[in-house]
Amino acid sequence: MFFTPTELVGAFIIDLQRFEDNRGFFARTWSPDEFESRGLVTHIAQMNLSYNRTKGTLRGMHFQHAPYAETKQVRCVRGAILDVIIDLRPDSPSFKRWIGVELTAENRRALYVPEGFAHGFQTLADDVEVMYQVSHAYTPSAEGGVRHDDPAFNIEWPLPPTEMSPKDTSWPLFER
């Protein structure tokens, strides 16, 4: 795997190291040793799959409060998404900054999301599937979020949202 640091401290784009032959290719998508050697969290408590019917669907911006804060490795396994993360760590040099990374079934990229970040995505096609590895099990009492259209962040979504959950449209504006 190839780990490329992003402009947000602690977040990485992960590309596959492909071993190709006439059959196709083989690549590792997870290696605790490779993550640990970079100081990244290696504990996986849960794996999740999100299926999204409609292009423009927006999920986010989600996080979990401590002590259930989670790291995520996110990969699009069918279709394409713009995966967006926001650094919400007040002591971070990249506090309140966001990035968007296109994850597709074709580019096979993943995004490593550290604790203290809000995460969400918008689908760029119909029938999209997204896989997540997370370090803590979902804990409803620790759930948090910020609005996808919060002026504190000015996220540039590629499409007008077509589908969103009522919960995601009611997250509060960020105050700090």
Q: Is residue 64 part of a domain?
A: yes
Distance CA 49, CA 121 (A): 13
pLDDT tens by residue, 2-61: 999 999 999 999 999 999 999 999 999 999 999 999 999 999 999 999 999 999 999 999
Assign 152 a pLDDT band (cuts: 50, 70, 90): very high
In this structure, what token pair is assigned to residue 77? Answer: 């396994």
Find how far residue 46's CA is from the centre of its chain.
15
| Active-site residue, from 62, 119, 136, 148 | 62
Q: Is 43 a catalytic residue?
A: no
Q: Is 29 helix (H, G, I), strand (E, B) or coil?
A: coil
| Active-site residue, from 112, 132, 136, 148 | 132
Q: Is residue 19 part of a domain?
A: no
Query: What would the mean pLDDT of 161-165 be, rounded to a whole number?
Result: 97
Q: Return the pLDDT at 139.
A: 96
Query: What would the mean pLDDT of 141-155 be, rounded to a whole number?
Result: 97
Q: Which residue has the tokens 């032959």?
A: 21
- Answering whether pTM is above 0.85, one says yes
Q: Return the pLDDT at 78.
A: 98
142: buried, middle or exposed (CB in 10 Å: 19+, 13-18, 0-12)? middle
Q: Return the pLDDT at 108.
A: 97
Q: Return the pLDDT at 175.
A: 83
Contacts of 32 (CB under 8 A, 6+ apart): 42
Residues paired with 59 in a beta bridge: 121
**Residue 127 belongs to domain with CATH number:** 2.60.120.10
- What does pLDDT average to over the chain? 97
Q: Is residue 2 part of a domain?
A: no
Q: Is residue 16 part of a domain?
A: no
pLDDT tens by residue, 98-108: 999 999 999 99
- Number of domains composing the chain: 1
Range of the domain at 86: 43-169
Query: What would the mean pLDDT of 54-74 be, rounded to a whole number?
Result: 97
Q: Is residue 123 part of a domain?
A: yes
Q: Is residue 128 part of a domain?
A: yes
Q: Is residue 26 part of a domain?
A: no
Q: Is 62 a catalytic residue?
A: yes
Q: Is the pLDDT of residue 176 over 80?
A: no
